[in-house]
Structure 1
Amino acid sequence: MALTARLGWWQLDRAAQKEAMQAAIALQSAQPVLRNADWPALRAAADDAGEPSTWLHRPVQLTGRWQAAHTVYLDNRQMQGRPGFYVLTPLLLEGGGAVVVQRGWVPRNFQDRTALPPMATPEGLVQVQGRIAAAPSQLYALGAEPAAARFARIRQNLDLPAYAQQTGLALPPWSVVQTGAASEGLLRQWPEPDAGVSKHYGYAFQWFGLCALVALLYLWFQILRPLRRASFDAAHAP
């Protein structure tokens, strides 16, 4: 009982931590929009800290030019339960700097798995709205990725430092997730950042349920059942 109760309280404590994290994400999302002029300060702060932890989830509005020749399609990504690609393209910022933008999602061609889906990449200056995010999530892969796959358009994962060397761009080790309505053949119905609070409440319920079960079993086998048997024996004693 003590062990299961302790595990239940531990899960509640984890839920409280995740709620604080979720509140921090909401607070970051409500901060003023970062623009091109803020980019040098962001890069400097991130270089000192190793990652832009205090800048994650901040909204951005950046002006720059797409580097369409370096567009990458991350395979086996889902949106609304449909498999397809996440499309990533570097954005060369006006005034200096560059960043990888997760532009959106496109469905894949199941008849020809090597076919790239149709999408548009505007030329000239564009304005991108989004939020600062970590590097694109890594999917599980068996073994090291073949060398040829690291230069392919369609990839399973993207190593940003290696990708920066390939493109010759000074890319930071994070990305920007583009938001807004669907356009250019891309969907942008990204899942909301979730710290996983409900999962910990579910685990806590399970542990407290086991604690209650142990208590009921103890009550039955150690107290109620012996009393019932003693009462029965007394009633049927000669």
Structure 2
Amino acid sequence: MYRFLLTPRWWGINVFVLLAIPFCVFMGSWQLSRFEDRMADHDRATSQVATDAGDPARPLADLLPVDKQTSGAQATATGRYGKQLLVPGRELDGRNGYYVLTLLRTDGGKALPVVRGWLPGTADAAKAPAAPSGQVTVTGALQASEQPGENGVSAQGGLPAGQASAISAASLVNLVSYDVYDAWVTLNTGDSGMKAVPAAAAPDTGLNLKAFQNLGYTGEWFVFAGFVVFMWFRLIRREVEFVRDAELGLLPEPEPKPGDQPASV
């Protein structure tokens, strides 16, 4: 009854199944490993932020460009504060508020965005403390530039003057007339009574949407493998029923085609 499995048609079906199942399992395992790697990166980045907080500060130039190794490291820079901006829509300790961001004009000509602290409520320039005058030296955790769509950061647009949606050179360069470092620093101690903003893990190391996409793809590939097996058994069952009906003579007579001559009596 199962001799049909040796026909060329079923050889093709069987070869496809034998190749499709290992491929789906391999892809599912690979996506699962990507999710596990992201979890490991998240754990390492979180522990590194805590470790870096106790390390001695190094000059800003020694830590650029920011990567997974230098993100969260203690950086120091000297200059004079310039333009001040507010970054609304930032939560801290479960409360909504805004960052007070001031650009530090360094001797190299570029400006370093410095988050001097966080204030609760709606962004209000009148409530934001003015930056210290004269030459200052700042020390804080180095952070990579934010990207729209990352960590809840929205694209620039529709904000009042004096506000920015993302702390990045690409956004800030349109608001000032000088070059801006592609990084920023959050002070270890909030300035003028403001609350300090804790350092975040390096970009693309947290359990973000990409991580859970990998987990979702893992499930999809294993479902595909199960579906291939299910369809293979379903096709075999239907073929067995067809063969059994043919042996019992239960198949309907084929309808005559146009032009066929009726059988003679």
TM-aligned CA deviation for residue 175 of structure 1: 1.1
The 8 Å contact of residues 45 and 68 in structure 2, kept in 1 or not, is answered as: no
Q: Percent identity?
A: 17
Whole-angstrom CA distance in 2 between matches of 1:135 and 1:232: 70
1:35 is matched with 57
Residue from 42, 45, 70 that aligns with 1:56? 70
Residue from 158, 164, 184 that aligns with 2:193? 184
TM-aligned CA deviation for residue 126 of structure 1: 6.8
TM-aligned CA deviation for residue 34 of structure 1: 4.8
Residues 26 and 157 of structure 1: is their aligned pair in 2 closer, same or farther, counting only changes over 3 Å?
A: closer
The 8 Å contact of residues 100 and 171 in structure 1, kept in 2 or not, is answered as: yes
Residue from 100, 103, 114 that aligns with 1:87? 100
Query: TM-score, normalization: structure 2?
Result: 0.55
The 8 Å contact of residues 66 and 143 in structure 2, kept in 1 or not, is answered as: no
CA RMSD in angstroms, aligned pairs only:
4.8
SS of structure 2 residue aligned to 1:206:
helix
The 8 Å contact of residues 76 and 138 in structure 2, kept in 1 or not, is answered as: yes
Residue from 159, 163, 183 that aligns with 1:154? 163
TM-aligned CA deviation for residue 71 of structure 1: 1.8
Residues 194-213 of structure 1 mapped to structure 2, 5 A cutoff: 194-196=205-207, 197-213=211-227
SS of structure 2 residue aligned to 1:215:
helix
Whole-angstrom CA distance in 1 between matches of 2:144 and 2:247: 72
TM-aligned CA deviation for residue 173 of structure 1: 1.4
TM-aligned CA deviation for residue 106 of structure 1: 3.3
Residues 31-180 of structure 1 mapped to structure 2, 5 A cutoff: 33-35=55-57, 38-42=59-63, 46=64, 51-53=65-67, 55-60=69-74, 62=76, 67=81, 70-79=83-92, 83-91=96-104, 99-109=112-122, 115-116=124-125, 118-120=127-129, 123=132, 128-130=139-141, 132-138=142-148, 139-141=153-155, 152-157=161-166, 160=169, 163=172, 171-179=180-188
Aligned residues: 216
SS of structure 2 residue aligned to 1:155:
coil
The 8 Å contact of residues 71 and 89 in structure 1, kept in 2 or not, is answered as: yes
TM-aligned CA deviation for residue 60 of structure 1: 0.7
TM-aligned CA deviation for residue 204 of structure 1: 0.8
Residues 78 and 215 of structure 1: is their aligned pair in 2 closer, same or farther, counting only changes over 3 Å?
A: farther
TM-aligned CA deviation for residue 192 of structure 1: 4.7
Q: Can you list the C-alpha shifts for 1:122-175, whole angstroms capped at 9, x where unaligned?
A: 637576432x21113334548xx59x96xx312334552674696576642111
Residues 4 and 97 of structure 1: is their aligned pair in 2 closer, same or farther, counting only changes over 3 Å?
A: same
SS of structure 1 residue aligned to 2:32:
helix
Residues 181 and 7 of structure 1: is their aligned pair in 2 closer, same or farther, counting only changes over 3 Å?
A: farther
Stretches of structure 1 that go unaligned for 5 or more consecutive residues are none
The 8 Å contact of residues 129 and 179 in structure 1, kept in 2 or not, is answered as: yes
Whole-angstrom CA distance in 1 between matches of 2:74 and 2:98: 23
Query: TM-score, normalization: structure 1?
Result: 0.60
Which structure: larger Rg? 2
Stretches of structure 2 that go unaligned for 5 or more consecutive residues are 1-19, 251-265
Q: Can you list the C-alpha shifts for 1:8-60, whole angstroms capped at 9, x where unaligned?
A: 23413433553564466357543573525x33433xxx3xxxx3336532421
Whole-angstrom CA distance in 1 between matches of 2:68 and 2:168: 22
- The letter of the residue matching 2:35 is A
